[in-house]
Amino acid sequence: MTDVTLREVARASGCSVATVSRVLAGTRPVGAETARRVRQAAEELGYRPNQVARALRSRSTGTVGLVLPQITNPFFPSLVREVEHALHAEGRAVLLADCDDDPEIEAARISDLLDRQVDALLVIAADAKRSRDAVEKAAAHVPLVLLDRGCGPGVADWVATDNATGMALVLDHLVATGRRRICFVGAAGTGSAAVERLAAYEAEAGALLPRGPGQVELGDFSLEWGRTAVDRILPSRPDAVVCANDLLAVGVLQRLRQLGVDVPGDVAVTGFDDIPMVDLADPALTTVRQPVRALAAEAVHLLGHRPAGRNDGPRRSVRLAPELVVRASSAPRAPSAPRVSSAEDTGSTRTPEVEQ
C-alpha cells in the first residue's frame, strides 16, 4: 500500500494543496468548514504526515527529551505519563531516557538527545551537585526545565513540589494524633528531593517536638532499605516513622507486620508521593500526594517561555502545593490503648497544639 499524498487529500476535500498543507500543519488560520473537510478527507484516506520532511522544513523535530533517574521508581512512570499527555496535546512527542541514578550516564543521555535534535529537554536531575554541569551546558542550547528534582539555583527553570510544606503536613498530623517519638527513614546522597525532605523533617520536628528530631536512618529510595531501617530504629521505641517516599514506607510496613508490630496502634507510618502501589499497602498508607498532573503541565508550559539558544534572563522556580492524604496507617490510637509515659508527656516544655 502506497503512502497517501497531500495532493490526494486535496482532491478528496475539494481544496488546494496549499490549503491542505496549512490545515494539517496548523501554520495559518483556515475557515472551520474547510478545516473540517480537509481533516475528514485525511482521516478517511489514512494520510500520515512525513515528520522527517516537516522537521527539515521547519527545523523543528516536534520532540522533547525527558531524562529521569530510574524508571523502576513507581513515582516516575506516573509523572512521565502526565508529561506525555501534556506534550501530546501540543502536538509534540517524548523521547525517554533512563540514567539509572548515575550522573555520568545522565550526561551521556542528555548528549544523545541533543544529537537527535530534540527541540527541548525535561530533566529529573539524578544528583543536585553532580548533574549541574551537564544540565547547564544543555540549557545553553535548547529550552530546558528541571522537573521534580533540581541541581541548584540559576541552572535552569525548575518545577517541583513544595517538599517542606509536605513534610510539615505530615508532622502536624502526627503530633495532632499524639505521636511524640518520631523517627525518619530517607535516602542518603545529594538528590534534591532527599535533601529537602530530610531538612524539612529536621526543621519541623525541631519546632514541634520537645526533644527535637528522633532517630534518622538514610539509605536509598527502595523497599529493601525501608525493611532494613526498621531493625535499626525499633530499639529507640518510636511511635511514628516518617518516610521520605512511599517505597520506603511500604518496606517499613512490610517489616513491621513481619515482626508483629501493630500499625498504627504501636507505630504510625507515613510516606511521600502517593504512588499507585500504596493501594496495596496493609494498612492503607497515609502519604503526601504530589500534584503530578500540575507538575507536568507547568513544566511543559515553561518550556515554551525560553527560546532555544537563550541562556540569559532570570531562572524561574515554581513550587506546587502538595496534599496530605490521611489513611489507616496513621490513625489515632484507640481510646483503650495504653499510653506510654515519657519525658515529653510530663516535662515542662509544652508541645504546640495542631489543628487537624
pLDDT digits (tens, 9 = 90+) for 47-101: 776 654 454 444 567 899 999 999 989 999 999 999 999 998 888 899 999 999 9
Q: Is the pLDDT of residue 272 over 50?
A: yes
What's phi and psi for 323, nearest 5 deg?
A: -135, 135
User: Could you give the angle at which helices 292-303 and 75-88 cross, rounded to 10 degrees?
Assistant: 50
pLDDT of residue 311: 54
pLDDT of 137 above 50: yes
pLDDT at 139 over 50: yes
For 22, how many CA atoms within 13 A lie in the half-sphere containing its CB?
A: 13
In what helix (H) or strand (E) does residue 323 lie, and over which residues does it extend? strand 323-325
Task: For residue 241, give the C-alpha cell.
Answer: 516513622
pTM of the model: 0.77
Other beta carbons less than 10 A from residue 131's beta carbon? 30
With a cut of 90, say whether residue 234 has pLDDT above it. yes
Span(s) in the chain for CATH 3.40.50.2300: 61-155+292-321, 163-290+326-346
pLDDT of residue 59: 55
According to DSSP, the residues that pair with 289 across neighbouring strands are: 273, 323
Query: How, if at all, do strands 287-289 and 268-270 pair?
Result: unpaired
Residues 13 and 36: their CA atoms lie apart, in Å, by 9
Using a pLDDT cut of 70, give the percent of the chain over it: 86
Residue 341 has pLDDT above 70, yes or no: no
In the chain, CATH 1.10.260.40 sits at: 6-49
Residue reference for cell 512525513: 50
The answer to whether residues 143 and 118 touch, using CB atoms and an 8 Å cutoff, is no
Q: What is the pLDDT of residues 160-211, one digit of tens each?
A: 999 999 999 999 999 999 999 999 999 998 889 999 999 999 999 999 998 8
Q: How confident is the model at residue 5 (pLDDT cuts 50, 70, 90)?
A: confident
- Asked if residue 229 has pLDDT above 90, the reply is yes
In angstroms, the CA 287 to CA 327 distance is 8
Just give the CATH number of 163-290+326-346. 3.40.50.2300
Give 20's pLDDT tier (boundaries 50, 70, 90): confident
Structure confidence at residue 348 (pLDDT): 31
Helices (H), 14-131: 17-25, 32-45, 51-58, 75-88, 103-115
Closest CA to 120 of 276, 280, 307: 307
Quick check: 354 pLDDT over 60? no
Estimate the share of the chain in helix, then strand, then coil, as percent rounded to the nearest 5: 45, 15, 40
Burial class (CB in 10 A: 0-12, 13-18, 19+), 258: exposed
The domain 6-49 belongs to what CATH superfamily?
Answer: lambda repressor-like DNA-binding domains (1.10.260.40)
Question: Mean of the pLDDT values across residues 22-28?
Answer: 67
Q: How far is CA 279 from CA 91, 192, 318, in A?
A: 33, 27, 29
Higher local confidence (pLDDT), 208 or 348: 208
Topology adopted by domain 61-155+292-321: Rossmann fold (3.40.50)
